[in-house]
Amino acid sequence: MSYLLAFLFAGVVCALGQIILDNTKLTPGHVTSLFTVGGAILSFCGCYDYLISHFGAGATVVIANFGHMLFSSAWQGYLEEGILGIFSGMFVKSSIAITGVIVFSFIFAIIFKPKD
C-alpha cells in the first residue's frame, strides 16, 4: 500500500506540473522554482513532514522536497546558532543532493552529445 501511495502522490505532483506547463506561459524553470518554494512554504507550515510520513518516498523524490530540505536545514541552523546559523545550516541536508547533481551532470555531459 505504501508503494501505491508514494506512486500516486508523486504522480499527482507531476501531473500538476504538466497542467501548469500546458495551460500557462511558465517555463520548466519557473515550475521548478514554484514547486521548490511551495515545498519550503509547506515545510514552514508544518505540513511537509505530514506528507512524508504518509506518502513516504513519493514525497521525498519530488522537487518540493528540495525546498523542504533547505527550509528545515536553515531553521535548524537558526535554532542552534542564531541568525548566522541560517546561512551555515541551509545546505547541511541538501549538500549531498547538490553535489550529486553537479557530478552526474558532468558525467552525462561527457558521455552524451547534444543534438544540433
Query: Residue 34 CB: number of other CB atoms within 10 A?
Result: 17
pTM score of the predicted model: 0.81
Is 16 inside any structural domain? yes
Instruction: Provide the pLDDT for residue 116.
Output: 63
Residue range(s) defining the domain that contains residue 44:
2-111
Is 116 inside any structural domain? no
Number of compact structural domains in the chain: 1
Is 79 inside any structural domain? yes
Instruction: Provide the pLDDT for residue 32.
Output: 93
Is 78 inside any structural domain? yes
Is 99 inside any structural domain? yes
Taking only the tens of pLDDT, the chain with its 116 residues reads 889 999 999 999 999 999 999 999 999 999 999 999 999 999 999 999 999 999 999 998 888 998 999 999 999 999 998 898 888 888 787 788 889 889 999 999 999 987 76
Quote the CA–CA distance of 60 and 92 in Å, as a whole number. Answer: 16
* Alpha carbon distances (Å) from 45 to 25, 30, 39, 71, 77: 29, 22, 10, 11, 18
